[in-house]
Amino acid sequence: MKRSILGLMGLVLLVLGLCAPAAFAQDKQAVQLVLDIPWPFTVENTTLPAGKYEINQMRDIDWEWTIADAKGAVKVLFSTEPAEMAKPPRSYEATFDVVGDHHFLVNLWLASDTGGFYIPMTKSEKAAWKQGKAKAQEKVTLQKK
């Protein structure tokens, strides 16, 4: 009798343990932002034309993001690394490195948070840095969706 009660309790705990991560994942709110860019820009190895895009954080993987066009078609899946800022921005921001005539997305900053995301430099961006002169960095305000 004692064994069957212990076995049943073990089974119940196992089921609860398996269900808890799924319930937690459903509660997580992924960041969804709207980006309106007046010039072509490059994310990882993909160059996108000027326009309005949605940037969405993957629900299960914090450092993975997608960029979709206005119709919702995903154009780029990209990886980021954690980044920190000394003073939190007042709004959501995207930072671009301007190298020659190319704009490269390098950071996503979250409003009221010192944390953000850094997009590692690709071979094409490194090559552009070697060939051209860096003009500056440009910031674009993002709207939360």
Write the pLDDT tens digit of every residue in 14-51.
Answer: 444 444 444 434 445 688 999 999 999 999 999 999 99
Q: Buried (b) or exposed (e) across 9-37, using 16+ Cβ within 10 A?
A: eeeeeeeeeeeeeeeeeeeeeebebebeb
Burial category of 46 from C-beta neighbours within 10 Å (exposed 0-12, middle 13-18, buried 19 and up)? middle
Residues 101 and 83 in one domain: yes
- The predicted-structure confidence for 107-127, as pLDDT tens digits, reads as follows 999 887 778 999 999 888 888
Residues 45 and 23 in one domain: no
The candidate with the shortest Cα–Cα distance to 44, out of 17, 75, 88, is: 75
Residues 128 and 88 in one domain: yes
Residue type, 97: D
Token pair of 120, please?
A: 């590692």
Residues 138 and 69 in one domain: yes
Q: Residue 144: is its pLDDT beyond 80?
A: yes
Q: Residue 77: is its pLDDT beyond 60?
A: yes
User: Could you list the residue range(s) of the whole structural domain that residue 68 is in?
Assistant: 31-144
pLDDT of 3 reads 52
Residues 50 and 23 in one domain: no
Residues 40 and 72 in one domain: yes
